[in-house]
Amino acid sequence: MNIVILSTNSNLYSTRRLVEAGEKRGHTVSVINHTKIFVVIESGAPMVYYKDHRIKEVDAIIPRIGASVTFYGSSIIRQFEMQKVFTTCSSLALVRSRDKLRATQILSRHGIGIPKTAFAKQPSDVEHLIAQVGGAPLIVKLLEGTQGLGVVLAETKKAAKSVIEAFYGLKSNILVQEFIAEAGGSDIRAIVIDNKVVAAFKRSGKEGEFRSNLHRGGSSTLIKLSKEEKTAAVNAAKALGLNIAGVDMLQSSRGPLVLEVNSSPGLEGVEKATEVDVAGKIIEYIERNINKPDSRKKDKVGA
């Protein structure tokens, strides 16, 4: 097969591992910077170009689209979809997962456990908004934040009011979310591929840090998920239409609560923590699905 990885940096761990895994299984794998791709649209002939040459004869693409170029990246994926090229992440699923509010609404509609969340453009009563998520401490999240950036823990009602009002003053879109104290500053990341959890690890924040992201200096340990946690992870990925996903969950007194579903999960943390060849499993997923009659149909999941 001819596989194209859409990535802005061929030296990133995840990109390198996908190239290695694909080539190890006998496939031709190339990395193309999707921000330098352009498309030509005419009736019945969707075309994709990189610099001065047309990209043709591609069997599958693996999108590794950064959050800052979600709109452009999803447009490039959509052009490949129009050519009936198999993709590990549909353009619709990418857009859904990147919109934190939309993703949370979809998870809620499917009955998946989530922390209680509130959203308002400019509430007239900030105290009432705070009360709706259980009061302080609480979490305030920028809708556009990634890797733990734009996530603030407000430990008192006064601090919560100040943070919320400051964000509104900057005209930022935010979510206000209940704080799950029993999680102890840790969360779980489960990697879901083709409706199955293939690897999982627990991430813990460094001392004095409530965010567990590895980019923020957190640590990781191997964990065995419960049946309930596996089901929550698979259902969350399925609800957003993602065939490959990193599902972040909190362990709470009322069961697993899904925080976020990542459409381009990093491979370094999970492969080092679990010693599972996740990159290889992604290539195997493509091999299993590339020739299925329905593998290239338009995504029909709602919202």
pLDDT tens column, 126-138:
888 999 999 999 9
Percent of the chain with pLDDT over 70: 89
According to the model, what pLDDT value does residue 218 have? 62
d(CA 199, CA 281): 10
Buried b vs exposed e over 89-101: b needs ≥16 C-beta within 10 Å?
bbbbbbbbbbebe
Sign of CA dihedral 102, 105, 106, 112: positive
Per-residue pLDDT at 217 exceeds 60:
no
Q: In what order do the strands lie in the sheet with 53-54?
A: 37-40, 47-50, 53-54
Mean pLDDT, residues 80-97? 96
State how beta strands 60-63 and 2-6 pair.
Answer: parallel
Report the phi/psi class of residue 251: left, alpha or beta, with left for phi > 0 and alpha for psi in -120 to 50.
Answer: beta
Per-residue pLDDT at 194 exceeds 70:
yes
Q: Whose CA is closest to 46, among 19, 10, 78?
A: 78
Which band of pLDDT confidence, cut at 50, 70 and 90, is reported for residue 297?
Answer: very low
Mean pLDDT, residues 262-289? 95
Query: What is the residue whose two structure tokens read 């007239």?
Result: 124
The answer to whether 113 and 257 are in contact (CB under 8 A) is yes
pLDDT in tens, 19-66: 999 999 999 999 999 999 999 998 888 899 998 899 999 999 999 999
Q: Whose CA is closest to 193, among 272, 282, 270?
A: 282
Q: Which domains, and CATH codes, for the chain? A: 2-93 (3.40.50.20), 97-113+182-289 (3.30.470.20), 117-179 (3.30.1490.20)
Span of 109-113, 163-167, 243-247 with lowest mean pLDDT: 163-167
Query: What is the residue whose two structure tokens read 């047309």?
Result: 54
According to the model, what pLDDT value does residue 240 have? 97
